[in-house]
Amino acid sequence: MASAATQVGLREATLRGLQGKPKELPTVWLYDERGSQLYEEITRLPEYYLPRREREILRARSPKIAARTQARTLVELGAGNASRTRLLLDALAPTLERFVPLDVSEEFLRATAEAVAAEYPRIVVESFVGDFERDLGSLPAGGPRLIALLGSTIGNFYPAQRRRFLYAVAGALDEDDAFLVGVDLVKDVARLEAAYNDERGLTETFVRNALIAVNRELEATFDQARFAYDARWDRKRQWMDIGFRARHAHTVSIRALEREIAFAENEQLRVEVSSKFRRERFELDARDADLGVDGWWTDEAGDFAVALMTFKGRRSTCP
């Protein structure tokens, strides 16, 4: 699924998550090879508006982004199949020399790198297997660089985690680098919940794949029949809360962690949160990390935004 070092960190994060309240599994468990393929199917669902809105913005704004950044290296964090990234690759053609896709799924990443290399033979493609929360400092140098995190992946962070990540981004940016991020915006609750409870049940299959991955990699005994899928809007925290509820009290064994994890009836097992943003809140987080928002573009419906940021001021220490 990932490198040995990443696996060790993932085991530690899994143990911490299952000892927390609520219990949770790290989101990265969603993205083994099968999970990555399922997610790409989700992006084509009618209910899942996010990639279509982001593509609309990138189609309209990629030339301006390219003109502002003049990037020689494009780094994509959590690259997936890099479908929307091709709009950036096309716009950056006059200056771009290298594309660095980063992802935790080595198999899926290899396929993406090979496809992009075949489509863009003039660009050097250097795939990077890793976790972008930990590996920002190891990204290849050689600017100007445009580092992109698309798909509102940043919404999967908790607020404190997001602030730490933005500080890490600021620390990784050189003077002529830029950071491009996609963010999903707050909107009608019915539309938000429909995006994660599609009629085909594909999103549920995707989230359940995390249990399959944990069972396989950590010799665990998560029984799908004992967990009900649960994805709902948390109005107070402004995020979709995605995971499961235990149908009844039972215990899960995780042999690789040497742990027995007890679940009470109706107890939550969180797999992912997906925060939704308002511009003011997002810009405040960015400013606290010494990042300035130089561009903010939305789709015509106002569902989604893409922000272009650069490092401003002195390096500060994340609290």
pLDDT single digits (tens) 46-81: 999 999 999 999 999 999 999 999 999 999 998 777
Model confidence at 134: pLDDT above 90: no
Q: Is 65 exposed, middle or buried (0-12, 13-18, 19+ CB in 10 A)?
A: buried
Torsion angle defined by CA atoms of residues 206, 210, 212 and 218, in that order, rounded to the nearest 10 degrees: 170
Separation CA 246–CA 225 (nearest Å): 9
pLDDT of residue 208: 98
Judged by average pLDDT, the poorest of 1-5, 101-105, 219-223, 295-299 is 1-5
Q: Does 262 map to a domain?
A: yes
Share of the chain above pLDDT 70, in %: 96
Report the relative pairing of strands 145-149 and 227-234 from DSSP bridges: unpaired
Counting the structural domains of the chain, the total is 2
Chain segment 206-250, per-residue pLDDT in tens: 999 999 999 999 999 999 999 999 999 999 999 999 999 999 999
Q: Is residue 220 part of a domain?
A: yes
Q: How far is CA 212 from CA 33, 43, 104, 223, 276, in A?
A: 12, 21, 17, 9, 28
pLDDT for residue 318 is more than 70? no
- Under the banding of pLDDT at 50, 70 and 90, the label for residue 140 is confident
pTM of the full structure: 0.89
pLDDT of residue 315: 52
What are the helix (H) ranges across the chain? Answer: 4-18, 33-42, 50-69, 85-91, 106-119, 132-135, 159-172, 189-195, 202-218, 279-288
Peptide bond into 22 cis (omega under 30): yes
167 in a structural domain: yes
Tell which wins on pLDDT, 278 or 317: 278
Q: Is residue 319 part of a domain?
A: no
Task: Indicate if the pLDDT at residue 313 is higher than 60.
Answer: yes
pLDDT band at 144 (very low <50, low <70, confident <90, very high): very high
Whether residues 252 and 165 fall in one domain: no
Does pLDDT of 1 surpass 50? Answer: no
Q: What average pLDDT does range 91-116 have in this prediction?
A: 89
Residues 282 and 263 both lie in one domain:
no
Compute CA 275 distance to the chain's CA centroid, rounded to the nearest angstrom.
11
CATH of the domain at 111: 3.40.50.150
Which domain does 139 fall in, by range? Answer: 50-187+277-311
Residues 104, 242 within the same domain: no
One domain for residues 93 and 162 = yes
For residues 268 and 213, membership in a common domain is answered with yes
